[in-house]
Amino acid sequence: METGDLIFVRGDSLVSKAVRFFDKGEFSHVAIALSDSHILEAQYFTKSRITPMYFSDYEIMKIPLTENEQHEALEIGVDLVGKWYDYLQIIGYVLNSNFNNPRQLICSEMIALFLFRLGKINNYEEYAYLKPNELYSKLNINFQESTG
């Protein structure tokens, strides 16, 4: 993995199973690679953080970045550290509503903000409320079109 790549995780915890149930897909979490060994993630029960890569079942989505964009990605990643987890948005998913605290983030919302600030997506709102599998599908199409 390289700086800026997205890490879509297939977790097997109880929370992961609940996410997959509501999201109707194989992924339960998503993080951003900040190096070949560290990721940025928004994880429940904690603030967003940079941590060594610890997942064992995942798929890497390559995001084509220039060297300058990789440096910018690191700066954006560091800037996103310390955001509380947005439980209100999770409740919104369960109730099929768009509840959101704009000062807090869930994993897929953090990815949308990261990509928007990096200039890789044009409309933050279009991506901010997607669940991990919805985000995976939409970005997969988006980046295939831009590279193919």
pLDDT, tens only, 32-77? 999 999 999 998 878 899 999 999 999 999 998 999 999 999 999 9
Report the residue count for the chain.
Answer: 148
Task: Evaluate the CA torsion angle 131, 30, 120, 114 in order and state its sign.
Answer: positive
SS3 84: strand
Short-list 147, 136, 138, CA closest to 59: 136
Contact between 47 and 86 (Cβ < 8 Å)? no
CB 132 within 8 A of CB 107: yes
Q: What is the mean pLDDT of residues 101-125?
A: 90
Confidence at residue 148, expressed as pLDDT on a 0 to 100 scale: 42
For residues 105 and 143, give the distance between their C-alpha atoms in angstroms, rounded to a whole number. Answer: 23
CA angle, 21 then 114 then 80, to 5°: 95
Give pLDDT, residue 7. Answer: 97
Flag whether the pTM goes above 0.75: yes
Banded model confidence at residue 147, pLDDT cuts 50, 70, 90: very low
Element (H, E) at 14: helix 14-23
The Cα–Cα gap between 112 and 83 comes to 14
